[in-house]
Amino acid sequence: MHEGPMAQPVFIDTHAHLDAAAFDADRHAMHLRARAAGVSTCVIPAVTAANFDTVRVLAHAQHDAYALGIHPLYALDASEDDVLQLDVALHTYRHDPRLVAVGEIGLDGFVPELNTPAALAQQQRLYKVQLRLAQQHQLPVILHVRRSADRLLKGLRDTPVVGGIAHAFNGSLQQAQAFIALGFKLGFGGALTYARALQLRRLATELPLSALVLETDAPDIPPHWLYATAEQRAAGQPQGRNEPAELPRVAQVLAELRGIPLDVLAAATSANARQALPRLQ
């Protein structure tokens, strides 16, 4: 009797900034490591109009997916022309199956320079106009949520979109449920690998499996096994670089927290990602 090898679980990294300079030296090797680890697809979100072409070309070269949008951290630099470029790109590439969302958009309530009254107003304007574009182009959105969940939810109620992903989610259970009610999935990644992240771990365990998608946010949010402490950094060690190949190990932590097999988590979160971003193959 012949038994084949166990099928390797397949994962989707729903948020990876693979165009980042941190990958310039070994981008292709990083891509191959991801595939070898079972990460079948990465979603590469743009952050400014200046990298719209880069993320699109990279997604095609690597058989990944991409999103187009202006990140709130770039809100102060964004002009009317950038918004126009977004509209044009969403129109030009509307039949591109690798264009899966408007993103990364949202609101940042953490960075001090972005939380002056004028900067907040600019963030809100940019968020609102991008929600309208997502609405017009019938695309889901990938949201940056940092101390901004309630304001993001209000924006979604004012300007409803077809759904999407609240990326690197770290809000309350109530806020999570509000996103879910609006057709969103919640992105979890390296942050939940820290034993001290009690609230986040509880959230990732208590939410229905149908609400979760996986992400690395590479090159950021290193899991604990890559994290360099302040002491190590003071001694000259650089902060660990995250990459999509880490996703299965992050998923293993989540599977253990939830008490389910890894392959069940992989299958469910991949299906959830396709539900949130229907153009994902």
Footprint on this chain of Zn ion (rule: CB under 5 A): 104
Which residue, 104 or 246, is less far from Zn ion as judged by CB? 104
Amino acid at 204: A
Taking the complex as a whole, the smallest distance from the CB of residue 144 to Zn ion amounts, in Å, to 6
Give min distance, CB of 240 to Zn ion, in A: 17
Distance CA 226, CA 186 (A): 23
How many C-beta neighbours within 10 Å does residue 25 have? Answer: 8
Question: 19 or 104: whose CB is closer to Zn ion?
Answer: 104
| Cβ-based nearer residue to Zn ion, 19 or 270 | 19
> What backbone phi and psi angles, to 5 degrees, belong to 49?
-60, -30
d(CA 170, CA 186): 9
Tell me the β-bridge partners of 188. Answer: 214
* Contact assessment for residue 11 and residue 40, using Cβ atoms and an 8 Å cutoff: yes
User: Nearer Cβ to Zn ion, position 104 or 243?
Assistant: 104
User: Please, what is the minimum distance in Å from the beta carbon of residue 192 to Zn ion?
Assistant: 16
Supply the minimum distance, in Å, between the C-beta of residue 212 and Zn ion. 17
What is the rounded CA–CA span in Å between residue 175 and residue 150?
7
Q: What is the DSSP letter of 261?
A: -
Q: Of the candidates 138, 152, 275, which has an alpha carbon nearest to the alpha carbon of residue 212?
A: 275
- The backbone torsions φ and ψ at residue 143, rounded to the nearest 5 degrees and listed phi first, read -105, 135
Taking the complex as a whole, the smallest distance from the CB of residue 228 to Zn ion amounts, in Å, to: 20
Which parts of 27-111 fold into alpha helices (H)? 27-36, 52-61, 80-92
| Minimum gap (Å) between residue 213 Cβ and Zn ion | 14
CB of 104 vs Zn ion, minimal distance in Å: 5
Which C-beta is closer to Zn ion: that of 16 or that of 280? 16
Q: Which residue is nearest to Zn ion (CB)?
A: 104
Closest to Zn ion by CB, 19 vs 85, is: 19
When the beta carbons of 143 and 255 are compared against Zn ion, the nearer one is: 143
**How far, in Å, CA of 186 to CA of 197, rounded?**
16
To the nearest 10 degrees (0 to 180), the angle between helices 149-158 and 117-136 is 40
